[in-house]
Amino acid sequence: MSLASGVMTTGGGDPTAEWSRDEYQCELVGPQPAGGAPLGRSTRLAKFHVPEIVFGPGSLAELGHCALRLGARRPFLVTDPGLIEAGWVDEAVGHLRRVGLRPVVWHDVTPNPKEREVEAGFQRYAESGSDVIVGVGGGSVIDAAKGVAILSGNGGRILDYEGVDEVVQPIPPTVMVPSTSGTGADVSQFAVITDTTEHIKITIVSRTLVPEISVIDPRLLTTMPDWLNAATGLDALTHAIEAFVSRAHNPLTDTHALHAVRLITRNLVRTQVLPKDFGARLAMAQASLEAGMAFTNAILGATHAMSHQVGGLLDAPHGVVNGVLLPHVIRFNAQAWPERFVALGEAAGIPTQGVPPHEVAVRLAELVRALADDVGVPKGLASLGVADSDVPVLARTTLKDACMATNPRNVGVRDVETLFRAAL
């Protein structure tokens, strides 16, 4: 039995074949004492891997001490022009210098980071003689920082590491500072990179990619544009829902996934309407964190597998694509396992008493769509540029995505084509 990268296997190559849907079924183990009470019980083995977390308003001030504790002398700070303009990079650099460090700043990262950007970042890292890698930004920045770290420790091209556990050599220590409330990249074992030749996104999954430290300062969320706030919030909601119904879920991931759903459904719209409501920002920062901790250990499902392909084809905002696809995937998966959606419905505030599980799932899908409407997400993929002629290729590449392994319902190419066409 293996728990590599959070996907439990029992041999034979199918990482989900041996999972039971009997919730946390316990079995008596060993001889029983005369009184009849068991000596012990065993449950499904669970892995839960997260970074050290520094959370709260003003926590960016701890960045220098965090890097120093990891052995930094010349940290490599990965960011983007938007974070520089917002002033967060100057503040981060100041905290690093205050403890005697000499940071190098690299900011040539675009949304949905490209393989050529990651490889250029690594060249700059190597030339500068840097050590600890610090990411200050959203998911694209953090994924690019992870890509630089992969190449530093393993060499080659970043596209060589697609899949699960292909990063076999240690990487430099990393500290991540998220500036959005949704990607979960600052606590996850995932990195998603765009292959500009094939026009697809590749998913790299490895426990080595879980950062050593995540510094979560909700102040950074206040400079997000509305569209990014909406996109990342829906991404976090997708993380939570897909982690909860994943074949690799466990009691530890469930707790965080459900709380994330509760926080997001109550606070995302509030951050759009009242962007200076710091209580809502704080709640969304925690929601992003908890959804990230859930999905990095339970993995994801069909929504992300499909979304990655659309993002690779069109360079579209990942969270927006998730917001369009998620209701369709909820309805699809609920046909196989409707009971699993009852707790999610309750967390989202849907009345469930006496309501058939499948109906709860349908109402959850409707609630997600209504939330997407409230934050301005398009109703269909066609408005993002997806054409019906793209569907066959998107469906084929979807089935190769690592996130599909833990989807709760078996999926074939025709199923994916149907889901894409329903979402157009």
* Strand intervals (E) in 3-82: 27-28, 41-42, 52-55, 76-78
Q: Which fold has domain 226-423?
A: Dehydroquinate synthase-like, alpha domain (1.20.1090)
pLDDT at residue 44 in the model: 66
- Taking a C-beta distance cutoff of 8 angstroms, is the pair 297, 6 a contact? yes
User: 215: which strand partners?
Assistant: 54
Domain spans in the chain, listed from the N-terminal domain onward? 1-45, 52-220, 226-423
The pair of three-digit structure tokens given for residue 133, joined into one six-digit string: 């890698």
- Cα-Cα end-to-end distance for the chain: 41
177: which strand partners? 136
pLDDT value of residue 47: 77
pLDDT at 355: 97
Nearest to 183 by CA among 213, 133, 221: 221
pLDDT of residue 4: 41
Average pLDDT per block of 10 residues along the chain, 424 residues long: 38 36 33 33 70 97 98 98 97 98 97 96 98 98 98 97 95 98 96 94 95 98 96 98 97 97 98 94 98 97 97 93 98 96 98 97 98 96 97 96 96 98 98
pTM of the model: 0.89
pLDDT at 97: 98
Does the domain at residues 52-220 carry the CATH identifier 3.30.300.30?
A: no
